């Protein structure tokens, strides 16, 4: 039996050991499904606190029950560790580490490349290496392959290299890691087949594509599609506000068309690790081909401007009540980038807080999922405050940034004097007993 066939057989009979590098929002769910499928699964992370939490039956991602990870650890199906020497025992190494932006919105592959350099130290014949972290086309078959080639092993024959983009959507109850179709593109045909075989053991539908670059571009297209369409509807919101037209009603009306229209919704800005960041990986790569991605750049500018628009609407509302933004008590509802999760990465709340701080407002926030807010985007650490009638009444302005299900919006409307609603979380009509003046932003 040749080596690719032997590796595939090992994956099919679940005797392979799978290593997941990066136990965050993408890596931990995938580690769970491999472990639940019967694979010995090793979860690697440089953050000892995460590893310790998992080993002691705790969890740090709210939509993944601690009972789930705790049972897998107890049964020794999942082994969290900071010891990367265990890569030598892994038949597959799947990379799920961050790919942030550096200065000038340039790609920062520091985490990816450091991880690959570590893998190279332990690379062995028959091993599969997969990148799941979003990046520009060419990352897998250029940057990563160049490092792994230093091992002296030959790709497609001695080891296998592929790209398979993560598609996690925290808080989405309609889809999970197993049911979201998985794209797989290898550097060679053997690489594609081995990688696809690995995922077919745990994912319901695996889609092979012709190359790693196609898979890389597909992931970028998915996120650019959302970025551009959200920018369009955000721009329309600005226009319709001036026309005194409710953009949410417009979207609802347009959505009655059964073909040719997909609804996207405005908001206070983009958040999360993907949509605010990933498009600029392609714009950076495009410049190497003397190509200007004007639409992507413009969409980024529009979306990045939305937190400032929210602050301007708050200022307008305070002025109508004879108050200045300076020294006003402002309460933000929600700090996470979307509803019902605790993830604050690139959340528009961070930009709004920073802008309000600069304008000397007194800012506090309430978020049932985010008890403490700290970020490289803030100059201070803030703790979530209780949402009470007294606090609402003492606030000069309340800004709904994240429309968490657990929030009592009726209480907000009853006791606050001014509400800036960025998520259409409040009714379009005035309710009986409502005290608050509502401005949509």
Rounded to an integer, what distance in angstroms lies between the CA atom of residue 199 and that of residue 334?
36
Closest CA to 335 of 347, 325, 351: 347
Q: What residues pair up with 330 in beta bridges, in sequence order?
A: 363, 397
Contact 301, 295 (CB under 8 A): no
**What 8-state DSSP symbol labels residue 155?**
B
Closest CA to 378 of 410, 415, 353, 403: 353
Name 336's Cβ contacts closer than 8 Å, sequence gap at least 6.
271, 342, 343, 344, 347, 349, 367, 369, 370, 402, 404
Phi, psi torsion values for 401, nearest 5 degrees = -95, -35
Closest CA to 208 of 183, 180, 177, 178: 183
Rounded to an integer, what distance in angstroms lies between the CA atom of residue 176 and that of residue 65?
13
Order of strands, sheet of 92-95, starting from the edge strand that comes earlier in the sequence: 78-81, 40-44, 17-21, 92-95, 128-131, 160-163, 182-186, 206-208
Rounded to an integer, what distance in angstroms lies between the CA atom of residue 260 and that of residue 265?
16
Q: Which stretches within 321-388 are classed as H helix?
A: 348-358
DSSP 180-246: S-EEEEESSHHHHHHHHHHHHTT-S-EEE-S-HHHHHHHHHHHHHHHHHHHHHHHHHHHHHHHTT--
How many Cα atoms are found within 13 Å in the side-chain-facing hemisphere of 102?
A: 7
Rounded to an integer, what distance in angstroms lies between the CA atom of residue 325 and that of residue 306?
18
Rounded to an integer, what distance in angstroms lies between the CA atom of residue 424 and that of residue 429?
12
How many Cα atoms are found within 13 Å in the side-chain-facing hemisphere of 247?
A: 25
Q: Which of 90, 96, 217, 274 is catalytic?
A: 274
How many Cα atoms are found within 13 Å in the side-chain-facing hemisphere of 86?
A: 17
Q: Is 274 a catalytic residue?
A: yes
Catalytic residues: 274
């Amino acid at each position: 039996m040749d080596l690719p066939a032997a590796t595939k057989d090992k994956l099919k009979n679940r005797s392979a050991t799978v290593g997941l590098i990066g136990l965050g929002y993408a890596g931990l769910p995938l580690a769970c499904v491999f472990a639940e499928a019967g694979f010995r699964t090793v979860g690697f992370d440089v953050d000892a606190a995460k590893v310790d939490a998992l080993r002691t039956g705790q969890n740090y991602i709210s939509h993944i029950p601690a009972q789930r990870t705790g049972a897998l650890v107890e049964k020794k199906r999942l082994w969290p560790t900071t010891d990367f020497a265990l890569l030598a025992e892994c038949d597959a190494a799947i990379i799920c580490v961050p790919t942030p932006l550096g200065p000038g919105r340039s790609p920062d592959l520091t985490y990816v490349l450091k991880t690959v350099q570590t893998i190279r130290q332990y690379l062995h014949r028959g091993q599969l290496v997969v990148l799941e972290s979003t990046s520009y086309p060419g990352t897998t078959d250029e940057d990563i392959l160049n490092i792994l080639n230093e091992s002296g092993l030959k790709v497609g024959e001695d080891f296998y290299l592929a790209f398979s983009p993560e598609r996690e959507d925290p808080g989405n109850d309609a889809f999970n890691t197993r049911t979201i179709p998985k794209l797989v593109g290898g550097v060679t045909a053997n690489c594609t087949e081995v990688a696809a075989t690995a995922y077919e053991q745990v994912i319901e539908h695996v889609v092979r594509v012709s190359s790693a670059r196609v898979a890389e571009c597909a992931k970028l297209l998915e996120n650019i599609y959302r970025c551009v369409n959200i920018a369009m509807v955000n721009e329309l919101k600005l226009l319709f506000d001036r026309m005194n037209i409710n953009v949410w009603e417009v979207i609802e009306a347009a959505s009655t068309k059964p073909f040719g229209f997909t609804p996207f919704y405005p908001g206070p800005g983009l958040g999360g690790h993907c949509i605010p960041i990933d498009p600029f990986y392609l714009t950076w790569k495009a410049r190497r081909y003397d190509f200007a991605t004007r639409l992507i750049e413009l969409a980024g500018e529009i979306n990045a401007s939305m937190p400032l628009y929210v602050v301007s609407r708050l200022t307008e509302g305070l002025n109508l009540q004879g108050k200045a933004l300076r020294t006003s008590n402002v309460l933000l509802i929600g700090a996470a980038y979307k509803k019902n999760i605790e993830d604050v990465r690139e959340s528009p709340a961070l930009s709004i807080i920073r802008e309000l701080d600069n304008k000397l407002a007194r800012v506090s926030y309430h978020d049932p999922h985010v008890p403490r807010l700290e970020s490289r985007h803030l100059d201070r650490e803030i703790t979530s405050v209780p949402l009470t009638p007294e606090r609402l009444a003492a606030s000069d302005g309340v800004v709904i940034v994240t429309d968490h299900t657990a929030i009592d919006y009726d209480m907000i409307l009853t006791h606050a004097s001014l509400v800036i609603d960025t998520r259409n979380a409040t009714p379009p009509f005035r309710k009986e007993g409502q005290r608050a003046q509502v401005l949509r932003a």
